[in-house]
Amino acid sequence: MFQKRKTVNPAQSVIALHRHEGKNHPRSARDSVAREEPLEIRVRGKGIAITMRTPGDDDELASGFLLSEGLLHKRSDITEIAHCEVTETAAAGNVLNVFVAPGVSIDLEKLTRHVFASSSCGLCGKASIELVHQHFPPVQSDTTVTLKTLLHLPELLRKGQKTFSETGGLHGSAIFDAKGELLVVREDVGRHNAVDKVVGWAFLNKKLPLDQHILMVSGRASFEIMQKALSAGIPIVAAVSAPSSLAVEFATESNQTLIGFLRGKSFNVYSHPERIQKDKTSKSRTPNRRTNRR
């Protein structure tokens, strides 16, 4: 049983502002902005992490986080996820309890984050780079994707980002099958949180492993995003912007295909290009220039 906080529009707020346009006098206006609030995740009553996130789909965020940290392994590990409503902070929907099945052993020493983790850079919350490696086995998948399918993914992701269209302030992540069919899209102020949400969605809906699927992200591809994709068994990760050097190294060693600068009619493939199939009528493409990064 999963209890979600009932809010009309949890992902955004409308605020008053003064708008300046050219030499005209500023005028009063209102605008929608993405909401950012802390979420404390508790397991068996113990607080294990606090992350700044966009409210909404908190059960998926917590599930994806715990999976990628190696604390959960299968759907039956969780019996319930519910917001705590005891204290003032909890009553605001910012404390989430994850109830684990009695027979499940949870080793919190495996947790590689500090108690506080920034939504913008998950790695900043890591004790050390060595503790990040959780030794998920490399992907074993023969999935391939066509050029035509890949080139359509950014547009499909953007169409699914409803709150981004209103605020311009959220990262997006989406899971597609190899034919480009959208399974799920989630948004968050933190790019790692957005990935946790789609991975958590798959976990809670018993769709893991995602070894025949593609992860698409609206920003850059970091090491931690590749790690989270690997925890879900995802063989292909595509990003609108650049990957980091460690992300490329991790993808190579994990048998993951990493695609960057996927925008317009071009993209770069940084690892395992054998999963990219040319369309029958496709022409050679040149690497995209590194401009207009998000």
Active centre residues (catalytic): 121
Contact yes or no for 164/226 (Cβ under 8 A): no
H or E element at residue 202 = helix 191-204
CA 186 to chain centre: 7
What are the phi and psi torsion angles at 39 (to 5°)?
-130, 120
Cα separation, 76 vs 69, whole angstroms: 17
Burial 167-177 (b: 16+ CB within 10 A, else e): bebbbbbbbbe
Strand pairing class (78-83; 266-271): unpaired
Cα separation, 163 vs 12, whole angstroms: 7
Burial 36-66 (b: 16+ CB within 10 A, else e): beebbbbbeeeebbbbbbbbbbbbbbbbbbb
Cα separation, 294 vs 219, whole angstroms: 6
* 239 burial type by CB count under 10 A (0-12 exposed, 13-18 middle, 19+ buried): buried
CA atoms within 13 A on the CB side of 199: 32
Nearest residue to 100 via CA among 54, 55, 60, 45? 45
Contact yes or no for 2/82 (Cβ under 8 A): yes
